[in-house]
Amino acid sequence: MTKTIKNVICTFCGTLCDDLEVDVSDDGKKIVQVRNACAIGAEKYLHVGNPGRVVLPRMRQEDGTYKDISYEEAIDFAAKTLLKAKKPLLYGWSSTNCEAIAAGNTLAEKIGGVVDNCATVCHGSSLLAIQDTGVPSCTLGEVKNRADRIIFWGCNPAHAHPRHMSRYSIFPRGFFSAKGQKGRKIICVDCRETDTAKIADTFVRIKQSYDYEVFDALRTLLRGEEIPDEVGGVPREKLQEVVDICKSGRFVTLFFGMGLTHTLGRNHNIDNGINFIRDLNDYTKATLIAMRGHYNVTGAGQVLGWQYGFPFACDLSRLTMARHNPGETTSVDLLVRHEVDACVVIASDLAAHFPFEATRRMAHIPTITIDPHISMSTELSDLHIPVAIVGVEVGGCCYRMDNVPIETRKCIDAPDGVITDEELFKRISARVDELLAEADVKNASEYLAKMEA
């Protein structure tokens, strides 16, 4: 006998599909079956029961092996490491719930750390562009109900957001878009003919790293000015065609992804893209949405936003004020420039997704990784603290790629003794308070001064 949980939220990508059906065993300990999920989502739920789940914190030993320790020891080690560090980095946050992120920020504020989330190597540049030129956006439901022109630029939902096209962008039938795909024209711009490009009506292959120039050409054409015969490997006629398709639409939506943020120019590519959309609004209705990767990277930014006013790369080391300056307070720069002397990796895999130069630095400073599973980071850090999996073993609030908050659901119980991110951070904070009280000081700065004296 199994019981079925309906309307489960898939905690893999920023699409945050909320229509999964999960069959769990009677004792509520095992997931038996998952319906409606994409291949990745299904794997996420089904492999939870795989053997080899870590249930106790593991401390790295001299000889390179790991030794299981109790949560108390782990929490004490974490609190002391963070207090001793002059400028610790707390990176990740994108695969946990907002409650945990809020608890983490409280801790970061106590120990004067730098809080940074995965946006820093993902859509950070998009956020920089938004800071420079704003963002005419809308919810995914608007796209579903109204859009008749869809542009995918430097993103590949077929691989990265498998159900995006069927739920929101290409196929769904909405209030004003009853014809579904038939009523829509799909444009795909990329340097490789991705599987998304194969579905598109128009595929524009541009030379790698020429996005900025191409956007500029489109905007120039939109204003009826002349451009060279070829821009970024695309003939003028093709660009004119794209402009005409957009202008003839009633509701244009541009989805963009890593193809823009990871390549030459970074924020400027998106900056110019946003301005292209803004210009289009003089002729028709146009919006754009960033294809956020991890399921709650947006939420991590939202919490930082309302607590300190910045979407990512938030430096709290002054203890009295928050500072934000990507290029200085972003994780990769902090690690590569040797600006931080301790590191906490939460709900993300720094070692697997950062350039190696940064990873090596992480491996050489005291590092604590908080992750339900074994990952590259856990294998390179001094301490690995296992936690419950958000969206499977614990609920909590998460934000979709269009900033819509959705409450994730608990499906099964976490393994005995394994605690949640939120509880963990609250306990570390409590331990920090104890240590400050013991040393009889007001804040971490004084604590460090006392230690040095």
Partner 1 sequence: MSEIIIKNGHVFDAVTGLKGDVADVCIKDGVIVDKVSNAATVIDAAGKTVMAGAVDVHTHVAGPKVNLGRWYRPEDKFRLGERCSAKLNPNTRIEGGFSIPTVFKTGYEYARMGFAFTMEAAMPPLYARHVHDEIRDTPILDQAALPVFGNNWFMFEYLKNGEYDNAAAYVAWILRQTKGYGIKCVNPGGSEAWGWGLNCLTVNDPVPYFDITPKEIVDGLITTNEHLKLPHSVHLHSNNLGNPGNYTTTLDSLKIAEGHTANNNFGRDTVLHHTHVQFHSYGGTTWADFESKAKEVMDYVNKQKNISIDTGNVTLDETTTMTADGPFEYHLGALNHLKWANVDVELETSAGVVPYIYGKNVKVCEMQWAIGLEIALYAKDMMRTMITTDHPNAGPFTRYPRVYAWLMDKEYRDAQLNGFKWSSKVIDATTLAELDREISLYELSQMTRAAPAKVLGLSKSFGGLAPGMKGNVAVYNINPDNMLKGLELEDALSKVSVFIKDGVKCVENGVVLEAEPVVKKTYWVNSSVPDTKQVIHDVSEKFLKYYSVNLANYEVVDHYAPNQEIVEV
Partner 2 sequence: METVTITLKAVPDLYLECESVTPDKFAGKTAAEIAALPCSVGKCNYTLGDWFEISGRPGATAADTKIIVNGKGTDKCKYFGAWMTAGEVVVNGTADMFTGAWMEGGKLTIKGDVRSFSGLQMKGGEMIIEGRAWNYLAAAYRGDWRGMQGGLIRVKGDVGSDLGTFMNGGTIIVEGNADIHIGTHAEGGTIIIKGKAHRRVGGQMVKGEIYVYQGCDVMMPGFKKIEEREIEVDGEKHVFNVFIGDLGERHSKSKGEVIYGHLYTLKE
Partner 3 sequence: MAEGAYSPLSKLFQKEDFEDWSKPHLVGQTTEYSSLLQLQAMKEGGKRKYGDGIIVSVITCTEIKQGIAIETGKTSPQYFDACSVIELHEEDFKTLGISKNTNVRVTSAAGSVILKASTTTQSLYPGLAHIPMGPWANILVPSYTYSTGEPCFCGFDCFIEPAPQEKVESAVKLMHEKCGLKYVGDPHYD
Place of tokens 């801790």: 107
Place of tokens 């699409």: 15
- Binding span for partner 3 by CB under 8 A among 25-33, 50-58, 410-418, 422-430: 50-58
- Binding span for partner 2 by CB under 8 A among 40-48, 93-101, 422-430, 440-448: 440-448
Residue 400's nearest CA partner among 225, 164, 233 is 164
In angstroms, give the least distance from the CB of 225 to partner 2. Answer: 4
Cβ proximity of 242 and 276 under 8 Å: no
As a whole number of angstroms, the distance between CA 127 and CA 311 comes to 7
358 binds partner 3 (CB under 8 A): yes
If phi > 0 it is left, if psi is from -120 to 50 it is alpha, else beta; for residue 112 that is left
Question: What does 54 bind: partner 3, partner 1, partner 2, none (CB cut-off 5 to 8 Å by kind)?
Answer: partner 3
442 binds partner 2 (CB under 8 A): no
92 binds partner 3 (CB under 8 A): no
Within 14-53, the residues that bind partner 1 by CB under 8 A are 18-19
As a whole number of angstroms, the distance between CA 222 and CA 276 comes to 9
Place of tokens 């394994």: 418
As a whole number of angstroms, the distance between CA 89 and CA 342 comes to 6
CB atoms within 10 A of CB 142: 19
As a whole number of angstroms, the distance between CA 389 and CA 440 comes to 37
Q: Which two tokens stand for residue 165?
A: 């096209």
> Can you tell me which of 404, 419, 435, 439 binds partner 1, judged by CB under 8 A?
404
As a whole number of angstroms, the distance between CA 76 and CA 46 comes to 34
Nearer to partner 1, 212 or 251 (CB): 251
Number of residues engaging partner 2 in binding (CB under 8 A)? 48
Within 198-217, the residues that bind partner 2 by CB under 8 A are 212-213, 215-217
As a whole number of angstroms, the distance between CA 7 and CA 446 comes to 50
As a whole number of angstroms, the distance between CA 194 and CA 15 comes to 19
Question: What does 223 bind: partner 1, partner 3, partner 2, none (CB cut-off 5 to 8 Å by kind)?
Answer: partner 2
Site string for partner 3, 371-410 (x = CB under 8 A): --xxxx--xx------------------------------
Question: What does 220 bind: partner 2, partner 1, partner 3, none (CB cut-off 5 to 8 Å by kind)?
Answer: partner 2
If phi > 0 it is left, if psi is from -120 to 50 it is alpha, else beta; for residue 351 that is alpha
Place of tokens 């996005």: 211
- Binding span for partner 3 by CB under 8 A among 201-209, 214-222, 315-323, 401-409: 201-209
Residue 324's nearest CA partner among 137, 122, 117, 134 is 117
Nearer to partner 3, 280 or 344 (CB): 344
SS3 280: helix
219 binds partner 2 (CB under 8 A): yes
Within 227-256, the residues that bind partner 1 by CB under 8 A are 250-251
399 binds partner 1 (CB under 8 A): yes
Question: What does 227 bind: partner 2, partner 3, partner 1, none (CB cut-off 5 to 8 Å by kind)?
Answer: partner 2
Cβ proximity of 420 and 38 under 8 Å: no
112 binds partner 3 (CB under 8 A): no
> Can you tell me which of 253, 287, 330, 408 binds partner 3, judged by CB under 8 A?
330
CA torsion, points 107, 112, 117, 120, in degrees to nearest 10? 180
Within 160-189, the residues that bind partner 1 by CB under 8 A are 167-168, 173-176
20 binds partner 3 (CB under 8 A): no
Can you say how many angstroms the Cα of residue 83 is from the centroid of all Cα atoms in its chain? 27
85 binds partner 2 (CB under 8 A): yes
DSSP conformation class of 226:
-
Question: What does 135 bind: partner 1, partner 3, partner 2, none (CB cut-off 5 to 8 Å by kind)?
Answer: partner 1
237 binds partner 2 (CB under 8 A): no
As a whole number of angstroms, the distance between CA 307 and CA 348 comes to 21
Site string for partner 2, 246-285 (x = CB under 8 A): ------------------xx--x--xx--x---x------
Question: What does 366 bind: partner 2, partner 1, partner 3, none (CB cut-off 5 to 8 Å by kind)?
Answer: none
Question: Using CB under 8 A as the criterion, which residues of the chain lie in contact with partner 1 when the complex forms?
Answer: 6-7, 9, 18-19, 98, 102, 109, 127, 130-142, 144-146, 167-168, 173-176, 250-251, 278, 281, 284-285, 287, 301-303, 305-311, 316, 318-325, 397, 399, 403-407, 442-443
